[in-house]
Structure 1
């Protein structure tokens, strides 16, 4: 497994094998929707011919800087989220790879505010140069809004009590601005703990997903991939929690069947646009070497021969 810049890339070879394993020639254009620290992109480039191209996206300025340091003329990096797949020409890509979630360098940097394991500013933005931080949002959000985010994006059954505790803290002591403050508050509120899991895990996940609009962006990128992929092109998505994987699974299933219009029962159905290829999980050896891989699920689909 690649360990570029302190990050162990999950399902590295499996993902690249799936991306390049379709019927299309490898001399085309491929997309890495989340450059991160370049694990997948480096391996893709090592297997592409000189006339191929790789377009990478990332919101994180540090990831963009890492991509530019590669100095490979075949690679172009865009400081944008992968929802900007929609900006690429129709049927221009031979493969699209989306490695979802947060990278190890982001989690392990206290100043980014993603982790309850370190005390740092409660930021959580993938791109710290844009948008509202988690602290800013919690400083003004209503109890109902906070509870909805923690329940819907964290699947946390104590979302209501946590939201009330956050607002009570805010009214008494001022806004929560540090990760340690939030982690302590949640730990004191959640009475039943899951074995081996910090009680703030679900709350931190929920806030990160909300602040970065991760699920909305995923839906946009999946929809865009149908137009961007050439017939025979591969879509490869690695998810790290059930909310993401459910969206990907349902998207592939939806477009892997003919669609009939009930209002026009004799009309020809809309043809299927994707073929499900594989569902892959990390093996025991990978999980043992990198515990963060344990929840990963990779789904692979292929664009059918119908032009967008």
Structure 2
């Protein structure tokens, strides 16, 4: 097994909810190349950067039953790009060079797990470079943010060649869409989940620290699903407590370049062939607000990792934090 983030051994059963923790491991899930001008401003017309598409394994252990729940957050790139829809394949041609291996399945195998060991696959959002190969996870339940299902089935009018989606991406009988963060959850919806064991996906969204809408997934403060609006409808992040004094924030595509986090660059925009202003974020203003909240978390000592965080990946001290690495 690999090294836990900031926590070398599985946590002892907590004496109280505030002491509950989870294990978090990084998973390699491919690399591809981004033109900087679509993501940051200012940027030269020719600047390009090869970035990872990181995924994560999260392990929660029930303190009473010792039962483990294994969650994979994002599946990264699909190992065979020809299995993407034709519009996505055309977009992939603009993101070369690209390397799709090792993918999530190989990264899990490096630590002794197979897709059948994964209880839940949770997507930060449903862009092509995060959805991977769902058919590998034949026994897992898929979890998507509110609004993602409509996107998959053609709703909305997003611009840009990156915004194509696959209606048949997920198995309908094994997919949960989270409740709307901006509406109350009715009692009939949340009661069956709250009475059961394991993760509770249909509870009321509540505030936590500077985050206005989160779900305390195990009701023990160890793992929060965070509403992270701006990038794409249904975009969610993860806040994970990995030790008594350590917390990791998995930020998905809330930001694509740490220079934005350091206020050295702004979010990029460009004109499409029809003269329309485009942005990698569906709602730039909301994305900026989400980034501000993440900046506050980071200033308070929370470790922040983005899905395409090449700076984090290139840091030598993080190499041992991938699943299966000593």
**Higher helix share goes to which structure?**
1
**Higher strand share goes to which structure?**
2
TM-score normalised by structure 1 residue count: 0.30
| Bigger relative contact order, structure 1 or 2 (CA pairs below 8 A, ≥6 apart) | 2
TM-score normalised by structure 2 residue count: 0.29
